[in-house]
Amino acid sequence: MTKQNNSGQNNYGQNTQLVHGGINRTQFDETAETLYLTSGYVYGSAEEAEAAFDESIDRFVYSRYGNPTVEVLQQRMAELEGAEACLATGTGMAAIFAAMACQLSVGDRVVASRALFGACHAILTKILPKWGVDVELVDGRELSAWQEALSRPCKIVFLETPSNPTLQLVDLAKVSELAHQAGARVVVDNVFATPILQRPLLFGADIICYSATKHIDGQGRVLGGFVLGSEGFIKNELMPFYRQTGATISSFNAWVLLKSLETLPLRVDAQTKTAYKIAQMLDSHEAVLSVSYPGLPSHPQYELAKKQMSDFGSLIAFEVKGEKDGAFRFLNSLSLILISNNLGDSKSLACHPSSTTHMNIGPEERDKLDIKDGHIRLSVGLEDCDDLIKDLRQALDIIA
C-alpha cells in the first residue's frame, strides 16, 4: 500500500526530511509517528476483502506484507537514499539474503568482494552454493580481479565498502560499470558508511542494503534492515519473495527506527568527528602498529574514499603490538569503552575480530583479508572525545 503523504514531492533538506518524511497522521492529529501494533486488518464487506486479495484495491491486508508504521519508515528511508522504493526487514541479514535470493536460480553466478561481514560471507560460501549458485570471491580493492571475474556473464555483484572489519574500499563507479557490462546488478552492503556518508546509487549501484541495527538505531535497542532499489525491483521481484518468506520487521521496531532516523545525521556527524581525532591519536601511539581509517592520508585508498564518501565514518581498525595476547590485554584494560561485537552505537564498542566476528572464516581466509591477530575494531560512540582518548591511551600504554 502506498498512501499519499505531505512530504513526498517537496525539496526539503535531509535533516527536515528525516524528521517529517513519510508521516501519515490519523484523524487525531498526533505530533509523533503512530505505532500501529496490529497483525491484521478488517474489511467492511466480503466484497472488499475479495477486492483486497485480487489487488483491485490498494489497502493493508496482513502485517507480514505491510503495516502503516512500517510504510512510513520505508518512505522516509527511500527519500533519504534517493531510491524509488524501500522494503524494511526484521534484520540486516534478512535484507541482504532476500535481496539476493529473490533474484537467483540454479546455475546463476555471483561475484563478491572477499572483505565482508561474517554472515554475508557465510551466505555466499555456504548457503548459496548448496542451492546451485556459483559464487566467486575477489579482492575488492583490485580492479583487475573484478575485470577478470566479470569477463563472464554474472547475475549479481555483491560488495561492502568500507568493509568490516579492516575498512577496505571498493571503487563503486568502476565496479558498477564492469558489473553492468557482465549483465549483473550491483548489491551494496552500505552499513559502515551509513546513508548519510555514502550514496552508492549515485555511483551506479542498483540495490542498497542496510542493517538498521547499527547506526540507524544507533542506541542498542532493536534489530532491523532495509533493501532499497528501483520500484520495479522492489515491487515485482523482492516483494513476492518477502511476502511468502516472512522477513518482515515488527511495527514496534519500525517505530523505534523512525524516531532514530530523526537524529541519525547528528549522531553520525558527532561520531565521525571524534573518530577522526582518535584515528590520529592511534596513528602516533607506539603500541599501535597500523591504523586503517579511510580519512587518514595513510589509508591506501584515501583518494577513493574522498571521491565516494562525504566523510569517513565512525569505525576504525588498528593493529596493536603483541598479537592476540596484546589485543586481549588492551581490551581487558579498557574501562570506559565496552567490549562488544555490535557497532554504530552511541556507546563506544571495541572487539577482537579474529576471535569473534571473523573466527568462523578460518586463519587462511583471515590472512587473505589482512585481518591480523593483533587487530582491534573500534566503533566510536557519542561520549566526550577526551574521555575516549584517555581510556584508549591508558590501555595502549599498558601494552607499549
> Residue numbers of the site for ligand PLP (CB under 6 A)?
91-93, 117, 119-120, 160, 164, 189, 191-192, 211, 213-214, 223, 225, 343
The nearest distance, CB 296 to ligand PLP, in angstroms, is 21
SS3 letters for 168-235?
Answer: CCCCHHHHHHHHHHCCCEEEEECCCCHHHHCCHHHHCCCEEEEECCCCCCCCCCCCCEEEEECHHHHH
The nearest distance, CB 123 to ligand PLP, in angstroms, is 10
Q: Are 77 and 217 in contact (CB under 8 A)?
A: no
Return d(Cα 174, Cα 304) in angstroms, integer: 11
> Phi then psi for 316, rounded to 5 degrees?
-135, 135
| Cβ proximity to ligand PLP, 67 vs 164, nearer residue | 164
- For residue 290, give the C-alpha cell: 597500523
The nearest distance, CB 217 to ligand PLP, in angstroms, is 9
| Cβ proximity to ligand PLP, 248 vs 326, nearer residue | 248
The nearest distance, CB 344 to ligand PLP, in angstroms, is 8
| Cβ proximity to ligand PLP, 192 vs 203, nearer residue | 192
| Cβ proximity to ligand PLP, 60 vs 226, nearer residue | 226
| Cβ proximity to ligand PLP, 23 vs 94, nearer residue | 94
Return d(Cα 205, Cα 357) in angstroms, integer: 27
Segments of the chain assigned E as strands: 85-89, 109-113, 134-138, 156-160, 185-189, 207-211, 225-229, 288-292, 315-320, 338-339, 349-351, 375-379
Q: Sort residue 77 into left (φ over 0), alpha (ψ -120 to 50) or beta.
A: alpha
| Cβ proximity to ligand PLP, 207 vs 395, nearer residue | 207
Q: Are 324 and 373 in contact (CB under 8 A)?
A: yes
Residue closest to ligand PLP (Cβ): 92
| Cβ proximity to ligand PLP, 213 vs 251, nearer residue | 213
The nearest distance, CB 375 to ligand PLP, in angstroms, is 16
The nearest distance, CB 357 to ligand PLP, in angstroms, is 9
Supply the angle between the helices 385-399 and 323-333 in degrees, to the nearest 10. 140
| Cβ proximity to ligand PLP, 101 vs 119, nearer residue | 119
The nearest distance, CB 68 to ligand PLP, in angstroms, is 23
The nearest distance, CB 211 to ligand PLP, in angstroms, is 3
Return d(Cα 95, Cα 117) in angstroms, integer: 14
| 229 bridge partner residues | 85
Any idea of the CA torsion for 348, 352, 313, 346, to the nearest 10 degrees? -20
Q: Sort residue 29 into left (φ over 0), alpha (ψ -120 to 50) or beta.
A: left
